[in-house]
Structure 1
Amino acid sequence: DAKRAIMDFIDTGSISYSWLGVQTGEPDTSLAADLEIEDKDGAFIYSVYSNSPAAKAGLLPGDVVTKIGDSEITDSSDLVRNVASLPVGKSTDFTVLRNGNSVELSVKTEKREESSGSDVSALWPGINIAPLTDDIRNQLSLKKKDEGIVIAAIAPDSIAGGSGLQQGDLVISINSEKVENARDFYRNLNAPPDEIQFRILRSGRELTIGFQKPGN
């Protein structure tokens, strides 16, 4: 906040802002419904930077941040404002919605540097997903029996992007666990082990693509 920024400047001659290390946004209507969060406020986490304050605290892709300290979080812009005003290096309680349950985590932010968040290769997983709607099914020429979650966007240099996964791939299982909706996707993605195997459908062919989760 403004008072803290002024005190920082008086104490150190500069203003320090906190860094969390997440990629957030607002899911569209179909994804929010698939995640069963359409009537919930909060900031949805698409990806987490490995070795970031968020990763060290245990924040995961698919989490919805609903509260920081005593402040309710309504959307991703709200999260950015609240994180920036947190004291650098001090622990703050974050409340997140995960698989329908409320989880509390203690997060110790770090000082935001010019390079913070610039290393796309540290982005986990670096994927945005979409439910399989009739429109998408037609666009991808998928059969009625085909089920899964579609990779809607992928950061080319991210961890998943470097594995060979592509936009438009249909994820049908992760580590042999079936993926029928967005909740399945994130639950299976975040589950052990650290070795991940995606079974996908691409242009009518089933492929298996494996890669390693980042260490924190």
Structure 2
Amino acid sequence: MLDFSLVKEYIPFLLKASVLTVEISILSIILGLFLGIVIVVMKLSKFKPISLFASFYIWSLRGTPLLVQLFLVYFGLPQIGIELQPFTASVLALGINAGAYIAEILRGGILSIPKGQMEAAQSLGLSYPTIMRRIIFPQALRVSIPAIGNESITLLKDSSLASLVTVSELMMTSQRFAATNYAFIEFYITAALLYLIMTTILSFFLRKVEFKLSISEH
């Protein structure tokens, strides 16, 4: 028989763990956005070695499991003398992984901009970096917002993997209390509901951003 009354006294701890989950997700998406912008610029570079490096980054990160990447960062780096705290390692692994996906999202956004805009700007004597920064990239970012939003939601859910490197986020906290009270269904359902609440709030915020951008575009 299910007894959710067992969960009540642990709600403050689960909420605190949810805050940590949000912190990991926000920092990871910020890192992912930064890396995504850098990688897409490298990908579009006419200098072949830089373009090839960006292609390799995207190919390798998208083609391997996030869990393997997380373990490489947390358990692998100490082997070469680089030791990271579990929280830092989680943010780094999630951010590096997100960077590959965001780079491809942004590349698609950039390629969706009509080439005539680039040609018109060049005819006015504007340099390539200026054209990208002031004309092409702002439009590409606007087009890419929905896909970046989806990646952010995925990242929030994937943050549960941080529990495997001892980060006391929502999943690990739920698992610990579930094992202590032998109430696995109750605590896991509660954790699922908290994740659902967080992703719903994030989705609502992203829809607001999309709406404002669509208004400003018109």
Q: Which has the higher contact order (CA 8 A, sep 6+)?
A: 2
The structure with the largest helix share of the pair is: 2
Superposition TM-score tier, normalisation by shorter sequence = under 0.3
Which one has the largest radius of gyration? 2
How does the TM-score come out when normalised to structure 1? Answer: 0.25
